[in-house]
Amino acid sequence: MTGVRRAIDAFKSENQNGQHDDVINGYHGTVIELIDMPEIFITPVEVIAQNRLFYHVVDNDRIATKILRKFNEMQLPGELNFYPMNRVTAP
């Protein structure tokens, strides 16, 4: 997860005249960071969601692509998975 944080920090440091505001404001963190629940539910949620808890939530696939490009440009280690909110639908 620190690789994405480094990529977002790079966008922040390069942000002149708001050129990267869409990425900075369109990245929301990982699923697990966005969930607030009573402790009794933590284990069942972890079992059901598994590694999807560590997917990165972004506004849309365009922002995910920009983050992925920056991540690769910086040659950061790891693998990225995204949940672009424009593609997520409820059953």
- Please report, for the domain that includes residue 69, its CATH number: 1.20.1060.20
Position 89 scores a pLDDT of 86
Give the chain's domain count: 1
**Tokens representing residue 67 in the block:** 């983050």
Burial of 32 per CB tally in 10 Å (0-12, 13-18, 19+): middle
| 5-53 residue pLDDT tens | 999 999 999 999 999 999 999 999 999 999 999 999 999 999 999 999 9
pLDDT band at 91 (very low <50, low <70, confident <90, very high): confident
Q: Is the residue at 47 inside a domain?
A: yes
Contact 85, 9 (CB under 8 A): no
Rounded Cα distance, 80 and 36, in Å: 23
Q: Is the residue at 90 inside a domain?
A: no
Cα–Cα separations (whole angstroms), residue 13 to 20, 48, 60: 10, 37, 22
Q: For residue 74, what are the domain limits? A: 2-84
Q: Is the residue at 67 inside a domain?
A: yes
Q: Is the residue at 89 inside a domain?
A: no
